[in-house]
Amino acid sequence: MRHLLSAGDLTRDEALLILDTARELAQVGERSVKKLPTLRGRTVVNLFYEDSTRTRISFEAAAKRMSADVINFSARGSSVSKGESLKDTALTLQAMGADGVVIRHSASGAARRLAEWVDGAVVNAGDGTHEHPTQALLDAFTMRERMGRLEGLRVAVVGDIRHSRVARSNVLLLNTLGAEVTLVAPPTLLPVSVDAWPCEVSYDFDEVLPKSDVVMMLRVQAERMNASFFPSAREYSRRYGLTAERFARMADHAIVMHPGPMIRGMEISAEVADSARSTVVEQVTNGVSVRMAVLYLLLGGAIQGPGHQGETR
Amino acid sequence: MTDTVRYLIRDARILGGERADLLLASGRIEAIGQGLSADGAEVVEAAGAVALPGLVDLHTHLREPGREDAETVATGSRAAAMGGYTAVFAMANTDPVADTAGVVEQVWRLGREAGYCDVYPVGAVTVGLKGEQLAELGAMADSPARVRVFSDDGMCVSDALLMRRALEYVKAFDGVIAQHAQEPRLTEGAQMNEGVVSDRLGLAGWPAVAEEAIIARDCLLAEHVGSRLHVCHVSTKGSVQIIRWAKSRGCDVTAEVTPHHLLLTDDLAESYDPVYKVNPPLRTAEDVQALREGLADGTIDIVATDHAPHPSEAKETEWSQAAMGMLGLETALSVVQHTMVDTGLLDWAGVAQRMSAVPARIGRAVDQGRPLAVGEPANITLYDPTATRVVDPAAMASKSRNSPYAGMTLPGRVLATFLRGVPTVLDGKIQ
Amino acid sequence: MHARKHADGERPDQRRAVLEGPEIDRALTRIAHEILERTKGGDDLTLLGIRTGGVPLARRLAERIERVERRPVPCGALDITMYRDDLRLAPARALGRTEIPPEGVDGRVVVLVDDVLFSGRTVRAALDALNDLGRPRAVQLAVLVDRGHRELPIRADYVGKNLPTSLRESVSVLLEELHGRDAVLIGPAKPRPGAAEPAAAAPEGGR
């Protein structure tokens, strides 16, 4: 593993290694000294072109717990906002000796492009509507800790699948790990070729709900409402929101997940979000452990391969 | 290069068939026959290479005026000559837009000054390509540039009424509307072909229906008002079917396909390398197959390059920020050989029809696309289909480097291009 | 000092046994008694086995002490992967589990247990790991085999057997719990990262 760009790049063994490593590293968060010396002398750059305080903080905490030097490079107030290209920024990071770059970007594929321009390891922290592999890893980690397994676990992912990098990464990873995913959304919020995805699809939340071990709710962004993806927030919430009544019809052992930030009252009601079967807070905690594991596995050992400039461009 | 020099092309295969010598003098083909005497003429050994009428590209972006950092009329027409072209139609989406007689005349004049091929400016259909109001089509037609092809290429004339008026209006001077078929609402923010790959990559989709719906509408409009319609860069199987149907009804429609749509598919976007970003986007293998068949059976009339140079900074970026378009002039004939000739779908006479005679006829370029016969203008391309080459954008005559074929091995090589009896390319080198 | 001190079964015929089961038993019994003597009855005693070979040994020592003292002795496992000084010489490796007994390590007499003491680097890493876990009153070291060739100022408090070796040899400790039998084997050494050549020459990425 040289970069983490897509959850689909992970083999089953690699994914399990990350989850197992994260489980061991989770202990560090419970100790008096919440720090490991492992990445001392390594430099990790958080290159955030999109505002995402929670993801950035999670990566920053993960890197710092591993004793890496962390440089936060945000699009605001930097040369990026003056029109510097991603490539020039990449060359700058390269010159600064970044061993790892964590990138969040509004353009799909930005992480992949960056990986061609820097020698260090690139971690995709969300690229446009493409992928968010560490979110999928922390979701899988949370499911495994709560449910004790992933194999055969029935996971419903509900909401704006079409525009969701979280959904893409989750479908790929959960499929690799043997879970059974059902996507639930109005047809307008599903990708046109969703039949080719390794999962089931349903337009009917109520039918899927009682059969699910895990219900993962995705945020529906307000901008979708003005683009006729559905008639109104009220209708969406009525058909696809996790209301208290729907929550009551879930299996007793089933859990509710949400990658955050939540829109209470839209896709999830407040009482569901705050219930003991909601893993929202655990997901945040687990996010740090999973990102520690990813940074350790990418940067802790010998960094694999020389600069891969072999590709003809 | 003076036109008093005569040239004897020795041992060429005319349209890939019989071997003959061609004697060029005073801009015309003076004689064709076996064992012609040089008699003071410069001898060009064709050694069995294929002789084609000089190629005509109905769809080129020369970028001048406005984006001279990407291409100029001079560099673009040199690239055309290197690709075996003796005429190109320069699209109107320059800055300023070629929507007045002044701009088209400037482009036309720049082409004449460069002298590497005939440059026919395309006039914009609407002012500023905005799709709101007709440009002064008649003034452009009457200018020294004698514009006959009108296109908002890059933008679709999506307003049905405006399209109808444009189709009707150009009948007065035998013009043709070349439509960039793209329903704008269905393609807002579109990045690549909508399908399995776009869904996986999280790139906004450009659905086939957005092209097909406009083509269907325009064919019906053209039929209704009795005008000529030309469809730019057809890219989908459905478009081929619609055009086939329209032609069967007697609609006066012609269509073009680009070399890249004959060869490349949308899965190349997996790399997120915007060198593969183009409009209309690369489609699926099924579409590619339908386009090849459509070109072979005449549903699609011609190959046009949609040569679209961009500076490196427009391509070395994130996919969604990158410019659309790819180079085409210097690789078109090789790609057509690879996809159409070597597959048995076309012979060289068929290539000559689709890359020279018919595009010249659509564009009303009177001295171009003529047969290789005595007395005809000496616009000739000598092409060695037995050669192979690894495409190297750095070695191209174009000012830009955004060739999607970089590193690919393609068959064939243009040995020489003659424009009215004068070599613009000899021994594969620009003159 | 590395994982390769353990049996891998690749070249069994090239290795000879220098200790067999009964001798290992006797050595552990002796170490258990020495620990009791040195810690004055083993109050506040915690045994931590260094993964992987040290863990079953720590458990065996704890059983022996419990038999004598007739009370439970806290026993755990320490994974030192994240504290190793040779991490960057190989791709990142999987982590083992650190298990600290509920009593913790603060104020305890912690005896670190390992199978082979060699360069001392593993023990150095274990001391660092322990330091991040708390503040023991004292830390001692018990090893089954001391094969010499120290590269750090570290010595064992309890040694099962001193085994003079050459650097061209490797020492493997087989344990019933991990390998199905007890034995200490000596065989030809495999190349050891960071030992034969200076670390700076090792493949290191990330400029």
A302/C90 CB distance under 8 A: yes
**What average pLDDT does the segment C117-132 reach?**
95
**Whole-prediction pTM value?**
0.90
b/e map of A236-254 (b: 16 or more CB within 10 Å)? bbeebbbbeebbeebeeeb
Q: Residue B61: left (phi > 0), alpha (psi -120 to 50), or beta?
A: beta
- CATH of C20-84+100-192, picked from 3.40.50.2020, 3.40.50.720, 3.30.70.100, 3.90.1010.10, is 3.40.50.2020
Q: What is the pLDDT of residue A303?
A: 67
Domains of chain B: 7-50+375-391+408-430 (2.30.40.10), 53-363 (3.20.20.140)
Class of the CATH-defined domain A7-130+285-299: alpha beta
Q: Domain coordinates of chain C in residue numbers?
A: 20-84+100-192
Query: Does residue B175 sit in helix, strand or coil?
Result: coil
Active-site residue list of B: 306
Q: Of all helices (H) and strands (E), which one includes residue A21?
A: helix A12-26
Cis omega (within 30 of 0) for bond into C52: yes
Q: For residues B50 and B296, is the Cβ–Cβ distance under 8 A?
A: no
At the fourth CATH level, the homologous superfamily of domain A133-281 is: Aspartate/ornithine carbamoyltransferase (3.40.50.1370)
Q: Is the pLDDT of residue C59 over 60?
A: yes
Chain A residues with beta carbon closer than 8 angstroms to that of B198: 193
Cα(B246)–Cα(B216) distance, rounded to whole angstroms?
8
- Neighbors of chain B by Cβ distance (3+ pairs < 8 Å): A
Chains B and A touch (3+ CB pairs under 8 A): yes
Give the C-alpha separation, B56 to B353, whole Å. 10
User: Token pair for residue A176?
Assistant: 């690799």
In chain C, which residues have their Cβ closer than 8 Å to the Cβ of A20? 94-95
CB B195 within 8 A of CB A100: no
Consecutive H or E run containing A91: helix A86-95
State the 10-residue block means of pLDDT for chain A, 313 residues long.
Answer: 95 97 90 90 94 92 96 72 80 92 95 95 96 98 97 97 96 98 97 96 97 95 80 92 95 94 88 93 95 96 53 28
Find the helix or strand (DSSP H, E) in which A176 lies.
Answer: helix A165-176
Q: CB-CB: which of A107, A191, A313 is closest to B320?
A: A107
pLDDT band at B298, cuts 50/70/90? Answer: very high
Chain A positions in Cβ-Cβ contact with residue C131 (cut-off 8 Å) = 33
Structure tokens at B252: 């006066």
Average confidence (pLDDT) over B345-373:
97
For residue range B72-109, what is the model confidence (pLDDT) as tens digits? 999 999 999 999 999 999 999 999 999 999 999 999 99
Binding residues of A for L-aspartate: 82, 165, 219
Please tell me whether B306 is known to bind a ligand. Answer: yes
Judged by CB atoms closer than 8 Å, whether chains meet at A20 and C94 is answered as yes
Distance between CA atoms of residues B322 and B311, nearest Å: 10
Cα–Cα–Cα angle for B211, B213, B215, rounded to 5 degrees = 70
Of A35, A119, A297, the CB nearest to C132: A35
pLDDT in tens, B387-410: 999 999 999 999 999 999 999 999
Interface partners of chain C (CB pairs < 8 Å, 3 or more) are A
H/E stretch holding A111 = helix A110-117
Q: Chain C: give the shortest CA distance to residue A254, in Å.
A: 29
Cα–Cα distances in Å, from C24 out to A41, B278, C31, C32? 42, 73, 11, 12
User: Mean pLDDT, to the nearest integer, of B18-35?
Assistant: 95
Q: Compare all CA atoms of chain A with the CA of B318 and give the residue at the minimum distance.
A: A110
pLDDT at C193: 53
Which chain A residues are Cβ-neighbours of B317 within 8 angstroms? 85-87, 113
Q: What is the pLDDT of residue B207?
A: 98
Burial readout B342-364 (b: 16 or more C-beta within 10 A, e: otherwise): eeebbebebbbbbbbbbbbbbbb
Of A86, A87, A192, the CB nearest to B199: A192
Q: Name the band, by pLDDT with cuts 50, 70 and 90, for residue B150.
A: very high
- Best mutation target, A21, A65, A66, to test chain C (most C CBs within 10 A): A21
DSSP B34: T
Q: Where in chain A is the domain with CATH 3.40.50.1370?
A: 7-130+285-299, 133-281
Residue in chain B closest to A86 (alpha carbons) equals B317
Please name the residues between 108 and 137 in chain B that touch chain A, using a CB distance below 8 Å: none
- Written as one string, the DSSP assignment of B212-260 is HHHHHHHHHHHHHHT--EEE-S---HHHHHHHHHHHHTT--EEEEE-HH
Q: Is C64 left (phi over 0), alpha (psi -120 to 50) or beta?
A: alpha
* Alpha-carbon distance values, B242 to B161, B166, B183, B378, B410 (Å): 21, 21, 16, 37, 32
Q: What is the DSSP letter of B62?
A: -
> Binding residue per annotation — B264?
no
Distance from C-alpha of A220 to C-alpha of A184, rounded to nearest angstrom: 13
Q: What is the pLDDT of residues A16-69, one digit of tens each?
A: 999 999 999 998 888 878 899 999 999 999 999 988 889 999 999 999 999 999
| Residue numbers in B near A194 (CB within 8 A) | 199
Query: What pLDDT does A310 receive?
Result: 30
Residue C161 pairs with which residues in a beta bridge?
C145
Q: What single-letter amino acid sits at A149?
A: R
